[in-house]
């Protein structure tokens, strides 16, 4: 599963990829963080030496597997004939969500077809969803939305051998070999416990498994046997898969009976500097600052503080999000992903589309993000390391630059901001 979840998805689940837009410097998807950018280092060539390296890796893996209680027979069954998956070498550097705006991502994953499928599933699975909602306190429409975005309601769970994928990544990805190695060892423990057999342990090229795209470590921590057959089966048991997702969200801090958030309309004189990670306020306070729901809609009472999210900056939709939004980001640490799950859940439940139109801005390329950071640094702003990733320091620097130029302090790294920085550097 976040990470992660996105177009190549399905063969790779959405939660196994990082989405393009991050707010206030949140990092890579927690559930598939091994997909962090590998641009700084090239993956190992997928030929002779690569195959030899994989063989040597498997030999070295056995003592650690044995120490975790994996029998020799299970180990041999899982590793027998394992060859490198050369497609993964290409896929490592081909993560399309990195070049999508929040608007583009939501348009793709919150489609009318997906909404209608979700509504059919809500009817077909009503008894199971009611039991899951009662057991874990997570809204049924949120659970359906996670399923819909991760694997299109089970239509695209991935057919690659998880053993082969994780072993390949452990050798081929120079950035996070230990992460993949630990996930592979955990997958072996799952086999040892009898939840699934090696031939049926299939998933994405990143090793995300089943209807809701759990990484092996997430499976071990949160998968449940909800249908009572003695196995935690997220591959073919829909009740097990959906209950496991609900269990994950419960442990991620989901608060029963509370919404994920709402679309909001800022007043014309809104100070966008309020939209910072430390700017959470009560709903009463936001109303006092002029925040209002779109025409014909209303905010439901919220027991906790809410934060303003501006996924497209000051010119796009604004959202007031609750602590449940943070629980969704624990599933995949991306603002775009959490927004998509929340909005799809609302649409499945019968709510209307968003009211505020998205701007037509494109996402900055990796090189443009590096240029943006370099220009900010040249203006005396502390952005940390120039790495093409828009984190907390970079967003703080963006706000400081915007403040100095009399621009809305939304911290958004769009093309217009980059052009402003270029002009400022020439003056």
> What mean pLDDT comes out for the span 284-307?
95
> Over 60: is that where the pLDDT of 368 sits?
yes
Summary mean pLDDT of the chain: 89
> Over 50: is that where the pLDDT of 35 sits?
no
> Over 50: is that where the pLDDT of 3 sits?
no
Find out whether 320 and 308 touch, Cβ atoms under 8 Å.
yes
In the structure, what pLDDT confidence band is assigned to residue 49 with cuts at 50, 70 and 90? Answer: confident
| Burial of residue 29, with CB atoms counted within 10 A of its CB: 0-12 exposed, 13-18 middle, 19 or more buried | buried
Most confident stretch, 37-51, 243-257, 297-311:
243-257
CA 393, 394, 396, 397 dihedral sign is positive
> 122-178: per-residue pLDDT in tens?
999 999 999 999 999 999 999 999 999 999 999 999 999 999 999 999 999 998 999
**pLDDT score recorded for residue 186:** 99
In the structure, what pLDDT confidence band is assigned to residue 33 with cuts at 50, 70 and 90? Answer: very low
**pLDDT score recorded for residue 252:** 98
Tokens of 348: 């499945």
Q: Decide which of 83 and 31 is more confident.
A: 83
> 84-122: per-residue pLDDT in tens?
998 997 777 665 445 789 999 999 999 999 999 999 999
Residue ranges of domains in the chain: 1-96+103-250, 261-348, 366-426
> Over 90: is that where the pLDDT of 369 sits?
yes
**pLDDT score recorded for residue 92:** 77
**pLDDT score recorded for residue 93:** 64
Cα–Cα distance measured from residue 105 to residue 196, given in angstroms and rounded to the nearest whole number: 33
Find out whether 384 and 25 touch, Cβ atoms under 8 Å.
no
Please name the residues in contact with 185: beta carbons below 8 A apart, sequence gap of 6 or more: 61, 64, 65, 68, 70
Find out whether 380 and 400 touch, Cβ atoms under 8 Å.
no
**pLDDT score recorded for residue 94:** 60
In the structure, what pLDDT confidence band is assigned to residue 253 with cuts at 50, 70 and 90? Answer: very high
- Provide, rounded to the nearest whole percent, the portion of the chain with pLDDT above 90: 82
**What is the CB neighbour count within 10 angstroms for residue 267?**
10
In the structure, what pLDDT confidence band is assigned to residue 278 with cuts at 50, 70 and 90? Answer: confident
**pLDDT score recorded for residue 95:** 55
- Tokens 């994953």 sit on residue: 109
Q: Which residues are bridge partners to 248 per DSSP?
A: none
CATH class given for the domain over 366-426: mainly alpha
**pLDDT score recorded for residue 90:** 79
> What mean pLDDT comes out for the span 67-93?
92
> 170-222: per-residue pLDDT in tens?
999 998 999 999 999 999 999 999 999 999 999 999 999 999 999 999 999 99
Tokens of 404: 């100095």
**pLDDT score recorded for residue 16:** 38
Cα–Cα distance measured from residue 316 to residue 411, given in angstroms and rounded to the nearest whole number: 13
Q: Give the angle 80-84-86 at the CA atoms, nearest 5°.
A: 150
Lowest-confidence range among 23-37, 191-205, 219-233, 247-261?
23-37
**pLDDT score recorded for residue 367:** 92
Closest CA to 28 of 6, 2, 9: 2
Q: Give the angle 328-264-397 at the CA atoms, nearest 5°.
A: 70
In the structure, what pLDDT confidence band is assigned to residue 18 with cuts at 50, 70 and 90? Answer: very low
Chain Cα centroid distance, residue 324: 15
């Amino acid at each position: 599963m976040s990470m992660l979840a996105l177009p190549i998805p399905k063969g790779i689940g959405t939660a196994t990829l990082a989405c393009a837009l991050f707010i206030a410097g949140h990092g890579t998807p927690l559930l598939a963080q091994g997909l962090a950018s590998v641009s700084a280092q090239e993956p190992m060539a997928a030929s002779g030496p690569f195959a030899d390296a994989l063989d040597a890796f498997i030999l070295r893996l056995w003592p650690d597997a044995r120490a975790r209680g994996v029998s020799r027979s299970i180990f041999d069954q899982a590793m027998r004939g394992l060859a490198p998956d050369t497609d993964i070498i290409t896929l490592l550097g081909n993560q399309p969500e990195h070049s999508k705006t929040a608007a583009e991502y939501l348009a793709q994953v919150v489609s009318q077809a997906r909404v209608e499928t979700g509504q059919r599933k809500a009817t077909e699975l009503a008894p199971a969803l009611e039991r899951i909602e009662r057991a874990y306190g997570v809204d049924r429409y949120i659970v359906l939305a996670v399923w819909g975005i991760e694997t299109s309601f089970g239509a695209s769970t991935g057919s690659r051998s998880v053993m082969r994928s994780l072993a390949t990544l452990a050798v081929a990805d120079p950035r996070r070999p230990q992460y993949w190695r630990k996930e592979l060892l955990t997958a072996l423990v799952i086999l040892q416990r009898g939840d699934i057999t090696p031939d049926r342990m299939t998933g994405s090229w990143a090793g995300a498994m089943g209807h809701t795209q759990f990484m092996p470590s997430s499976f071990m921590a949160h998968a449940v046997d909800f249908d009572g057959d003695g196995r935690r089966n997220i591959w073919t048991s829909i009740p097990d898969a959906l209950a496991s997702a609900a269990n994950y969200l419960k442990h991620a801090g989901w608060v029963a009976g509370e919404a994920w958030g709402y679309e909001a309309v800022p007043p014309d004189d809104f100070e966008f500097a309020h939209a910072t990670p430390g700017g959470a306020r009560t709903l009463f306070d936001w109303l006092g600052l002029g925040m209002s729901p779109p025409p014909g809609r209303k905010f439901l009472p919220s027991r906790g503080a809410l934060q303003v999210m501006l996924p497209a900056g000051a010119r796009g939709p604004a959202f007031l999000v609750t602590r449940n939004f943070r629980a969704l980001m624990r599933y995949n640490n991306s603002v775009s992903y959490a927004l998509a799950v929340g909005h799809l859940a609302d649409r499945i439940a019968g709510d209307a589309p968003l009211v505020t139109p998205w701007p037509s801005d494109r996402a900055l390329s990796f090189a443009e993000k590096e240029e943006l950071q370099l220009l900010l640094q040249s203006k005396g702003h502390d952005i940390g390391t120039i790495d093409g990733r828009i984190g907390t320091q970079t967003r703080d620097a963006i706000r400081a630059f915007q403040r100095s130029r009399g621009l809305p302090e939304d911290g958004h790294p769009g093309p217009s901001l980059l052009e402003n920085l270029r002009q400022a550097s020439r003056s």
